[in-house]
Structure 1
């Protein structure tokens, strides 16, 4: 897949722009592009296994996987109208990072801060945007049925399931649909069907989120992962050279930069893994859905490889890093020949053999 698209959303003044600035900060300064009022910043996915393979093979090209963070700008005139005006744009996201203000006494509207209510309000906005879309489509199909056009009845049945779920307060990501039913509504790109990571934008006094107990409990009840993120601190860490970051993180009780933890959480939430291809020309990471097979992995590299698939020479990255060469892995009996149905594992190093 292309770069993973992680859209930052949240209530006004929750601090998502400060979080975005910290996520795209580097020792050389911030790097981002714009799309309308939105800002997009692409970062490399840190993976020590890939870095070790690069050191072994010394390739001409080194290509880590990428994540693009998007700072979503809600138009000023859309105040109070939720995400409806941005429905199509938000539908492009792979997942949402929902930023919740978790510092200070008052929120952006000057009211007493209630982080849980802020979380629930944004989740409701996502659901209401979906409900508007569902009701509009249901009305259209029902009109067609009255005119004798009944081909939309299967879709109508699925949409009514979706409406019932939203009306009962359930997010569509919690509604289990058979594959054939999901296919009927996939083009809608429902917002509440997308995976959500919650970012608690904490203050300097609470970089690890220990004071976010109520918000953490609310997230657990909804099946959402929570990541504590002190934007000013994380921006300062990201601006440091990699060798200087470890001590700084340790001083604040952090094991890794929040950007790394957010990417790891996104991969886990979206059920993604990485596999690698290596050689003198290129060492590269590829992103794949957990459970996908070798034929699908071949298609990620090039469609011709999937079409002419013969076998996949496979070894796990730690073994190749230890043995240094494929030949040594073969001699040790660690290099495997897998068929197209082989389920690719996280960290597999794969070389596809295909007919031309």
Structure 2
């Protein structure tokens, strides 16, 4: 999973990047990646059953993209910038409010809405350029007498109709075959949108969220309110100092966890576990993934030679202390390749290649 931080200059993207990754982005880079481990209390508890094993958390990649200048409005994004964003799983516009001090929450909410609307226009224009270029290529192929992919042809028409109506593609329910035809284009407005509101210390995040109401809600959209400067300071502390500092400030969960949770929900992700004396590991997958495909996340050989999966819920494993005990209780079961893996499953794959 990759979450790309985008927005106008001065929004605090790089500060948020530090809050999320615990590292500072390289100065001057158009796009700077950073990796963070995904906290998982269930994984921590499972590791206690296998103390010699290596604990491997799932990871998320953040991409800090260079801020847009106000002079770039209504021009679409640069081609190089689009290339960076096309590989992202989620786009996260960072809207900075900290410069406005203790302004009225309703006024701050209006600023968020306006800035996000301007940014969405840039994404729409960028997608329109991509779709128009593809339409020209398809038409050129047709004029030469060669056949064209009818599904892609119809999908591009549907895309152009939506974009010309200023409708983000994430709001369109494409037919499955058209959706598959569009995947390679990486349309930006088709990606889930996680708006991160970067508030100032004197601003009330809950009041801002209340003033926004349902304004930012919609299909494949979510919102998080953070104080990026404060969260960055916390992220740079030694691990043993973070928890007491969070408690002192009354912060239940750091921004890194809240943003991750929102990203997981937008993508419909769950996680399953593999356990053993060598390693205990968490694997994120899309909810509803069949066991045979989940096995492929571990290794392609497991998917290719899949026979059965031994499955038990992590809660049952923790309650009974071992796979052997779960087997004796009838809780460890054999599942076929079509079994839909559930959140928190512990899975061991039987395979032959």
TM-score clears 0.5 = yes
Contact 1:14 / 1:201 at 8 angstroms: preserved in 2?
Answer: yes
Aligned position for 1:52: 45
Q: CA deviation at 1:239?
A: 3.0
Q: Which residue of 2 aligns with 1:288?
A: 285
How far has the Cα of 1:178 moved from its partner?
Answer: 1.8
1:84 maps to 2:78: yes
Question: What residue in structure 2 maps to residue 190 of structure 1?
Answer: 187
Which deviates more from structure 2 when the two are superposed, residues 35-44 or residues 69-78?
69-78
- 5+ residue gaps in structure 2? 102-107
- The 3-state SS of whatever aligns with 2:319 is helix
Give the equivalent residue in structure 1 for 2:64. Answer: 71
- Match of 2:203, SS? coil
| 1:307 lines up with 2:304 in the alignment | yes
Q: Is the 8 A contact 1:52 1:321 kept in 2?
A: yes
Structure-2 separation of matches of 1:322 and 1:315: 11
TM-score (norm: length of structure 2): 0.90
> Taking structure 1 as reference, are residues 169 and 252 closer, same or farther at Cα in structure 2, changes over 3 Å only?
farther
CA distance in structure 1 between the aligned counterparts of 2:6 and 2:125, rounded to whole angstroms: 15
Cα RMSD of the aligned pairs, angstroms, is 2.4
Distance (Å, rounded) in 1 between the aligned partners of 2:319 and 2:219: 42
Cα 1:94–1:223 shift into 2, 3 Å: closer
The 8 Å contact of residues 102 and 212 in structure 1, kept in 2 or not, is answered as: no
Q: Offset of 1:240 from its aligned partner? A: 3.5
Q: What TM-score, normalized by structure 1, do the two folds share?
A: 0.89
Between the aligned partners of 1:54 and 1:83, the Cα distance in structure 2 is 45
Worse overlay, 154-163 or 242-251: 242-251
Tell me, in whole angstroms, the C-alpha distance in 1 between the residues paired with 2:199 and 2:342: 36
Which residue of the partner structure matches residue 61 of structure 1?
54
* Cα distance in 1 between the residues matched to 2:264 and 2:241: 26
Matches of 1:352 and 1:345, distance apart in 2: 15
1:39, 1:71 within 8 Å by CA — same for their partners in 2? Answer: yes
| Change beyond 3 A, Cα 1:216–1:66 | farther
Residue 233 of structure 1, CA deviation = 1.3
Shift of 1:221: 4.8
Matched with 2:104 is none
* CA distance in structure 1 between the partners assigned to 2:87 and 2:317 by the alignment: 37
1:14 match? 11
Q: Distance in 1 between matches of 2:32 and 2:142?
A: 43
Instruction: Determine the C-alpha separation between the residues in 1 that align with 2:125 and 2:240.
Output: 46
Q: Give the drift of 1:326.
A: 0.3
Structure 2 equivalent of residue 109 of structure 1: none
Give the 3 Å change call, closer, same or farther, for CA 342–154 of structure 1 in structure 2.
closer
